Structure 1
């Protein structure tokens, strides 16, 4: 039997085995239980404990928890707390700080260096963490994908996808890709520059999320950490008090 990690986001459902204090090989579906055919549901792992993080809608979260409760002896759902494993959240009300952002910071804190953590999913989230584990706050904006979808919803002649990044595009699809990707890159870069003013040095940039690969060529020294949330969930799991495990 084994312990597993499950991350139910706004766009994708990911899971991986817990290996020591990190996530093992990651599997992913476009979304949660409603996107998984019966054979895939039947092939979900079984084990002792399922550690679960979810930012999805309550109904979808409940459906996935019901599936996992039938396959694991125990299901533990992580919640954001003011402090965990040396990380101290800046929010006065930690419950209002997304659990995905919280877990990404737990994973990033293992570096013991200043970091900007940028998550590119349905939303673009940016958080600053210093070398001592203190969270200095962050930003939330629409991701490039969400920007494109919002523009298409208001003006159907603007395609919701496609195009390539160009500094000065000469067609609409490229202009949309350039504008939306460029907006995200500009916000990340500004946050990093401002962080250097706060901390006195330029922090390392860690990028994760399904939309991150498209931005990496525009962020010269960014480090892509695709399993950052699951790695943080693994760290949360192993730092529980013995009685809670």
Structure 2
């Protein structure tokens, strides 16, 4: 495809950053744009598995904490409605209510409510106001984490992963540091994802690894 046609449909402002990073070479800019998409594409199965593993690990842990397999339903008006959560506008409760509205008129089940929650719901459990109410029990979702890893360390990794994931899902570039071509942050996110998965269960890394070719795609800019 000619650069002018790509620019017409992708937009000049979006491509300009690629053009600047490639010394105004339209050929290289177009190639880098494709590489960026390939790296983003490679992250999809890894991120998908990460979210599923994290979601279920946290759900199972809180099922033990509340001694209730259906806590996402029953705690809507208990833990999620605690007065101390007013400043956060009862974020978790709001997420559950929103999911219920989306599911109706079909039967509302805990399983459906769980599957409707975004990554933001699960990472929000580590916000201090939720963490305190849960007495830190959610750290039990990571039985294999190093002893030195505390809530703050978990929050930092989850925040970076979620923001990076949103960049991918909203078609934002992930190949830059400033105006330079640099996939180092993407590499760091991949390491963070592997860390969190290994904290849940190191054996899950083998399963994730089967779908992981992010490293190969990150090395493609070497051929620009």
TM-score by length of 2: 0.28
Write 1 or 2 for the structure with the bigger share of strand. 1
Higher alpha-carbon Rg: 2
Taking structure 1 as the reference length, what is the TM-score of the superposition?
Answer: 0.26
> Which structure would you say has the larger RCO, counting Cα contacts within 8 Å and 6 or more residues apart?
2
